[in-house]
Each structure stands twice: as structure tokens, then as C-alpha cells.
A and B are shown apart, each in its own frame.
Chain A
Amino acid sequence: MLATAARVLVVLALLAGLFGLFVLDGANHSSIHSSPTFPADSSPDSPIVSAGPLEVTPPDHTLLRGPPIDPGYWDLVFMYAVSVVALCWTLARGVNRWRFDRQALAFEPREHPRVRPLAWIRTLLSRSTRSHPRATWRRD
């Protein structure tokens, strides 16, 4: 009981820590997607008046070394479609391989997976072969 209470406290502390990261990231504007930029009153063509680290600010004048990323419609469809496949695959594996132990209030691996995908596919195939109309016709 004491161990469970301690674990709940740890989980709450970690959730608070994660929330703190979101707030800190929002406060610092240290978004990973922000890009190094020139100050608003300068441009790549203007003479360099001081040598120092480039300022990282929200993108007003983004420094570009290469062509911008410009995905087409089908590029986005591909990217998000396969990403949904990845989510479904991982979720299915998780449900198949893990169970929630209500007494321990924790997840643990199943002793045996709920479904063995290859065996399941083989069973489906053998069933469809047996019930195939052409097979019936041949027997007749």
C-alpha cells in the first residue's frame, strides 16, 4: 500500500515535471522549430558590424542555406498515412503483448500474446481456401 502511494507520488511529480518542460519551452521560445535569424534591422547583404553569436528569435528574417521545404499534397498524404499505420501497429502490439494488473495497479507483459499474427493469418488463409467456391465446384 505504501509502495503504491509512493509510486503515485512519483507519477504525479513526473507529470508535473513534464508540464514544467512545456511551460519552460513556451517561456524561453526555445522551440526546436525556430531558426537562427538576423536581427530585424539587418539582412544577409548588409555589412557585418559586429562578430558574435547569431541571435535566435522568432523567425522574422530566417537564415536559409538551402531551398525551403515544400512538400506537395501527396507527400503530406504519404507522410501522415504511414504515420497512422505506425501508431496502429505499435498500439496493436502493445495491447497484444501487455496487460494491466489491477491488483498491482501496473502494466506487465502477458505470458502469452493474445494473438500470434502469423498463425492467425495462416488460419484465415486455410479457412478461406476450404470455403472457396471453386474448391467446392472441383469436388462436385
Chain B
Amino acid sequence: MTTTEAPDLLHRILDYSSRSDPYPLYAELRETPVALQEDGSYVISTYREIAGILHNPHLSSDVRNLSRPMPGAEERATPSFINLDPPEHDRLRRLAMRHFGPPHTPGLVSGMAPDLTNIVSSLIDDFAGKEQIDIVDDFAYPFPVTVICHLLGVPREDEPRFRVWVNAIIDSINYDPKTDPKEKLDNGVQATKDLRQYLGGLLEQRHGHPGDDLLTRFANDDGPDGRMTDEEIISTANLLLIAGHETTVNLITNGMLTLLRHPQVLQRLRDEPDLVVPLVEELLRYEPPVHIIPWRAAYSDITVADTVIPKGSQIMLMLASGSRDPDRFGDPDRFDPDRQDNQHLGFGSGIHLCFGGPMARLETQIALTELVRRLEGPRLVADPPPYRPSPVLRGPIHLPIEQS
């Protein structure tokens, strides 16, 4: 496993024309598990190498540990825990998790199942009379947005406002100074400021007022780690708001697309609703919502597959490629909901393992179960459907379907 330069290949993957099917290019990429790029960064694409490095304490998520700073990094505000290392990462994640999952808040996610089912049912009710349904705009987008707004304590009616900011932020995630206009980056930086200011306004009203939403609970918490500062709460809320719906939209949409491409699996799901649990895991492997971790930093020299990645290097992790690695998964390009030992990289791994994973799972399980139960003879209008621009958070921008 040697390092070779394959810059063209990465650019082809990131290019929009590959969006509907990047998997053959991933297979090509995996021939060089650790690939040094022209700009000095490294791309890792095989399962064991990705899993290994995600558990490697020498890998940093803090942009300050890159020897060459990323464009726009200095303009971004207080990082959220996704962009921090221990011990700060651990403290902030702990402070957030206290109000979201076990051991301090067990049962929150599972307790939301009835509400989730109601939201899904009413969205599907609204399909009535439509000739064409857009699974994205009519379903997969409004559903998780409603859920995360409720959970965080963000007014649902503000969605049109924050949607603009979120889109600009997502657009700027994989900003490439060589190919993208500077405007794309500036828009992202400005949108981050606007969104923070908006969340700050909501937070101000929560201090001293009891309530069940996360913003209120963060603002009034006095646990063993103390309380998050307002800056930290805003960064955390910012992260949860964006990550809490952007990825789930893609997971649900990718799920419906995959089921429509595999009608026999769709029929099985109708007949055996319990199949949805392993099916969503397989979906996270086969068509995950997050394809790439765009950057991590080598805090010290890291050896991966006999390649020494020098301290300060930028490292890109191709999660979706790792989950299709034939050295780890038999027949990896087959969608098989009965797959055993399915330790996919759909939620990443290690200390940054997806915070909202349990919520995304439940949302998608309920969404797909109800869609296949209630849609009659659904079929794709276009295959492939049109995709969003991002190669990182990958999914269709629209998924029009018709019923019989």
C-alpha cells in the first residue's frame, strides 16, 4: 500500500457530474488507501484505515493544528465540539449529551416516537390529490426540520429565515479556493454570523425560564461540569440545528430512492415492518448521507498503511468509500438489508461518532415504514434524480415520484 498522487481522481469525485454515482470512482480511489494530493493533503478511502484513524488520538479535529490554515477559518466563531479535541470536545459533548441521551436523559429519543409518527402521518395525508410528490420538499425536508425545531426550541415558522443561512453554510463546507468563487466562502462566513446572531436572540429569552427544549435546558443547567457559556451554547445549537436535519433529509431521501430501485425489498418492508431496523443500517452503509469528512489534522506524525502522514497535514476521510470496501463487506455494492456484521461508517466512529445518530435512525425508520405502507404503487419519475451540489452531504435535491 504505497502513496501515489491521484489528484485528478479526487477532483473527478468532487465534480458535480459524479454526484449521482461516485461509487465506481471510490473503487478506483481505494486502490491507493492513503493518497497524497498535489496540495499536500492526504485522502484515505479504505475501511480499516478509516476506522483505525478515527480511533487514533493523534488525529485532530481542531483547525488550528493544520500547518496550512484553511481559508476562512480565522473568521469563523467559537468552534462547536465537532471541531474540537479532547478535553474541550469531551466537556462540551458531555454537557450537550446530558440533555439528550443516557445516562442522564434516557428515553428521550424513543419517547419521541409517537410524535414522529404523527408528523409523518400528517405529511403523508397532505400528499392526497397531488399528481406528483417530491419526497424531498413534501416530506424528507419538513419532517426532520419540524423535529429539530421542537427539540431545540427554535420556532418552526422561522424556517424560511434559517434555511437561507443553512444552505449557504452547507455550500461553503467544501469550498475550494482554486475552483470556487470567493463569494461562496464569504456567503458561508456571513451566514454563520447571521445564524449565530439569530440563535443568540433565542437564547437570551431562555435564561431563568424553565422549559423542556434543549436551548432552555442548556441555558439553565448546573451539572458537575458547570454550565456552557452563551457562546458555547450558540455553537452547540448551531451544530445541532444544521446537523440535526441536513443529514436526515438525505438519509430519508436516499432510503426512498434505494427502495424504489429495489422493489422486492420495498415489498418485503411492507410485509415485514421489523425489517426496517437492519434496512436503515444497510442504508447507512450503502447510501449514507455523509460521504466525506472533508478535513482532519495530523497532530503528530501518523502512520497509516505504511504511509507516514506528517504532523500538520490535512487528511480527508472518504467514509462512503470505506463502507463499500470489499475487504470489509462481502458483495459491497449490493443493497442487502439482511447483511450481518454491518459496522458501517455511516455515523463515523470514535469520539466524534454522530451525536444525533439515535434520532436519525428513529426518524428514518418511521419515515420509510410509513411511506411504504401508505404509498400506492410508487415509482420514480427520473432516475437518477437531480442531486444537491455537495459531495460531502450527498443526496437528491428533489425526488419526484408518482403513485398509481
**A, B from the same assembly:** no
A: residues with CB less than 8 A from B are none
